[in-house]
Structure 1
């Protein structure tokens, strides 16, 4: 029995424009969110989304359905890789501003309970405010669940750089979260 996802992928693979339109309508919002996590700005995210869909439609005939959710996962990976390509091309991954972070004592990471008190859009704003390299490593490690070795290979950096950027990203986020919680009196 074919699922809707499988039928949609097969239709796109045959060049069916109605299937392509449905695929775009169904997944564009989700993939825009993925692109935004990496670029940090809407205009760049929209450009990356466009490029990602060109790649998706150009290679969907080679996609192999592996069960429910496999099409979505495949497209998310293409969106992430397209965003990383753009960041590398613009040489934004190596630009890491310390913004006064150097010399500041480490901050205790907020608990899951404390973080749950913060609206999702506020948390996403905090992540988007991270320097490009920090944000990229944070997303790849915490959201996409890549190892530091995999991140290092993807970004052309060493594992220690990946680990260091993740640590700094977490410290910056912890400071922002603590300040927000204090401001709200929580």
Structure 2
């Protein structure tokens, strides 16, 4: 899957403020849920067609390699289809929010199993001289902004996404990643500084 397709649902309006555009029409959402409830097998195909690219973008926040993202997305859809009967529809957007949580959890599980120490890692070259003011990202494309986030080390990227995008507290992140709240806060601080440095570097290249 091309990164350009992923970037369309993951854009940074200003540093530290991220808008994630993940939704499809309320009528379409209701229809698919009703069809799934009736056991309509074709509804699974339709749900996959509507949501796969969007959920691949969610996975790309946490996982860099495309081959790994495909495996995680496949496992996520298996869980989505096997658990859809227990899903409680709570209005427009609730289905995508529920599926997003599954993909995030599967991505974090993958990281814990294969890169166990990544959530407590430190990077020696996190810059100390980055300006306190957030960089002006208006000159950068969504593709470039996504690449700046994906360039973060896995542990930094996970904490950054959970805190900034998913809106989790450090207490919640500590439980999800099996780290201390103070470690989560430290990782977030380092992630923001490193991300700012990545963005400033992209801006300089365009000047």
Q: Give, in angstroms, the shift of residue 43 of structure 1.
A: 1.0
Distance 1:146 1:95 in 2: 18
Aligned-residue CA RMSD (Å): 1.8
Q: Report the TM-score when normalising by structure 2.
A: 0.81
Q: Report the TM-score when normalising by structure 1.
A: 0.90
Query: Hey, what does 1:81 align to over in structure 2?
Result: 105
Q: Give, in angstroms, the shift of residue 105 of structure 1.
A: 1.8
Structure 2 gap ranges (5+):
1-25
Query: Hey, what does 1:5 align to over in structure 2?
Result: 29
1:16 aligns with 2:15: no
Higher relative CO (CA 8 A, sep ≥ 6), structure 1 or 2?
A: 2
1:98 aligns with 2:123: yes
Q: Per the alignment, do residues 117 and 164 of structure 1 end up closer, same or farther by CA in structure 2, a change over 3 Å counting?
A: same
Distance 1:110 1:48 in 2: 36
2:134 aligned to 71, 88, 111, which one? Answer: 111
Distance 1:39 1:136 in 2: 9
Correspondence 1:1-186 to 2 at 5 A: 3-92=27-116, 93-94=118-119, 96-101=121-126, 104-109=127-132, 111=134, 114-185=136-207
Q: Relative to structure 2, which stretch is displaced further, 162-171 or 7-16?
A: 7-16
